[in-house]
Amino acid sequence: MPLDPQARAMLDAMAAMPSPDFSTLRAADYRAALAAMPGFAPGDAIAAQHDLTLDGAAGPLRARLYRPDDSAALPLVIYFHGGGFVLCGLDSHDNICRSLTRRSGALVLSVDYRLAPEAPFPAAAEDAVAAVRWAAAHAAQLGADPTRIAVAGDSAGGNLAAVACQQLRGSGIALCHQLLLYPYLDCTEAATSSASYRECATGYFLSAAELDWYRGQYLANPADAADVRASPLHQRDLHGLPPATVITAEFDPLRDQGEAYGEALQRAGNSATVRRWPGQFHGFASMQGVIDSASDALDAAAAALRQAFSRSRQEAA
């Protein structure tokens, strides 16, 4: 279908702004430029939130815990923000986390993992695994039910959520769901040959040139792209992973790799639901208050989490 009219208006507004020159762009300058841009709607009202620190792979990491209400032993979602492993943080994804908290009825723990190029691969992947380990060990302290823990993330954060599930398989940490919003799952050159990568290379918010820049910032050694901790789509053994919900966007260069991962999970015998959001581009779920489909997608994501938590409770009974 054609672009959603609200998505088209958003892209037109972006096209009127200066475009970064990715051949010379520095990460610090890009972060500063994004920080100066106006934000989107703040997300849903929740009972409380507070910042804390948790143990990352190489030291303490900032995190933010969102609480939907005052109930005890709530399910927990560990959330990893997008930004190409280079940009964004707790504040940029505050609205997604608040909305998922309210709509899923779960605690959401947003993790401020280390960013490239200052901390290149595998820092973010190692932090994601460490954060899940920490959250599972401290579930009672967080007010969470240790039998109902899920991971979630958008874009690069979807990569980290998938990596955490793969790396923690067999660890004794029983994750009950993985929610992947338009995930970035393949850092290899093979990704550039997909239909969506070619068809959506320019003009749809996330460009092929920007993806190349992210990959260059994240991978100090280009050969690391083949490591499944960088490209979880290339994991050959996908059996025994948590049920998954994969939401992709029609006009996203990453669309095909997200859908390929969902299909690969299914072939390996896992439960996986793949839903392509029509008329939308990469990152749309953050654009609450501007694009109505953002709220619709978060409704669907929260419903998937609620169902996963309900199944987990029934299985534990």
**Per-residue pLDDT tens listing for the chain (317 residues):** 799 999 999 999 998 888 899 999 999 999 999 998 889 999 999 999 999 999 999 999 999 999 999 999 999 999 999 999 999 999 999 999 999 999 999 999 999 999 999 999 999 999 999 999 999 999 999 999 999 999 999 999 999 999 999 999 999 999 999 999 999 999 999 999 999 999 999 999 999 999 999 999 999 999 999 999 999 999 999 999 999 999 999 999 999 999 999 999 999 999 999 999 999 999 999 999 999 999 999 999 999 999 999 998 888 76
Report yes or no: 305 and 312 within 8 Å, Cβ to Cβ: no
Give the chain's domains with CATH numbers: 5-312 (3.40.50.1820)
DSSP 188: S
Apex 46 CA angle, 43 and 52, nearest 5: 95
Residue 100's alpha-carbon distances to 106, 117, 179, 208, 223, in angstroms, are 8, 29, 11, 29, 36
The pLDDT assigned to 317 comes to 66
Q: DSSP E strands: which ranges in the chain?
A: 48-55, 60-67, 74-80, 107-112, 144-154, 175-181, 244-251, 272-281
Question: CA 160 to CA 166: how far, in whole Å?
Answer: 10
Provide the annotated active-site residues. Answer: 155, 252, 282
pTM of the model: 0.98
Question: CA 36 to CA 11: how far, in whole Å?
Answer: 18
